[in-house]
Amino acid sequence: MRYALITGGSRGIGAAAARELARRGWGVAVNYLNSEDRANSLVDELSALGVPAMAVRADVADESQAGAMTARVLDTFGRIDALVCSAGISHVGLISQIGAEDWRRLFAVNVDGVHHCCRAVLPHMLERKAGSIVTLSSMWGQVGASCEAAYSATKGAVIAYTRALAKELGPSNIRVNCVAPGVIDTEMNAHLSPDDLAALAEETPLGRIGTAEETAKVIAFLAGEESSFLTGQVIAPNGGLVV
């Protein structure tokens, strides 16, 4: 059996990825920070599918918590075949209006969090000379978005980190790929009005916004052996909005 650790796994794309991997027979560790009830409910749902599942609390922005989380998962599962870095936060507003604390928190979660979790899991993967890491960016990390400069900067950093780490870890048979979704129907986009969503759907060549489940299928593909010759790639399920 293969095992995955999914950060930010209690909701949105992370939760959808947990369900998709569990349906494919993976054991799943669901990381959360504040959504304990959601995480436990999801673990019950995954366990009902007949796979091992656990919830583990950690703030990935804290290096020691990321390390303790990874150690606990390894103690329970014995191995981590895939790390999915889905934990993330957003910020919408003029760059002149974002405070230093909000700026640092964005980078602490979206960039430092990815780094902390990769660093924590790498000794295990390097020892086995096997593993897959999937990071979550955004199409705004590729092209930038007005009034989301800070968020776009963090997601651009994730793309650069992914590509560089893939080159570093390739000789050890560890693959690192990135998923950069477009507009997806999740709580992170709840600030968008129905008119905003309709306008984005109209702008998208496929004529609609995406679902967390569609993104989860891309994550599961990159996590598994079906993508065994893919590394350093940015896969963008965005309906053609950014090409």
- The predicted pLDDT at position 188 comes to 74
Q: Is residue 97 part of a domain?
A: yes
Question: Crossing angle for the helix pair 149-169 and 113-128, nearest 10 degrees?
Answer: 10
Looking at residues 209-233, what average pLDDT do you find?
Answer: 98
Distance set, CA 139 to CA 27, 32, 64, 68, 135 (Å): 29, 24, 30, 31, 13
Looking at residues 108-135, what average pLDDT do you find?
Answer: 98
Q: Is residue 221 part of a domain?
A: yes
Q: Is residue 164 part of a domain?
A: yes
Q: What is the C-alpha separation between 126 and 59, in angstroms, rounded?
A: 24
In the structure, what pLDDT confidence band is assigned to residue 128 with cuts at 50, 70 and 90? very high
Q: Is residue 187 part of a domain?
A: yes
- The predicted pLDDT at position 42 comes to 98
Q: Per residue in 160-182, pLDDT tens?
A: 999 999 999 999 999 999 999 99
Residue 29 φ/ψ, nearest 5 degrees: -105, 125
Q: What is the mean pLDDT of the chain?
A: 96
What is the domain-level CATH number for residue 120? Answer: 3.40.50.720
Alpha-helix runs per DSSP H in the chain: 12-23, 36-47, 63-77, 100-107, 113-128, 139-143, 149-169, 194-203, 212-223
Active site residue 151: yes
Q: Among 3, 32, 151, 161, which one carries the catalytic annotation?
A: 151
Q: Per residue in 53-78, pLDDT tens?
A: 999 999 999 999 999 999 999 999 99
Q: Is residue 241 part of a domain?
A: no
Range of the domain at 36: 3-235
Q: Is residue 62 part of a domain?
A: yes
225 DSSP 8-state letter: G
Q: Is residue 242 part of a domain?
A: no
Total structural domains within the chain? 1
Q: Which residue has the higher pLDDT, 185 or 161?
A: 161
- The predicted pLDDT at position 194 comes to 87
Looking at residues 199-219, what average pLDDT do you find?
Answer: 96
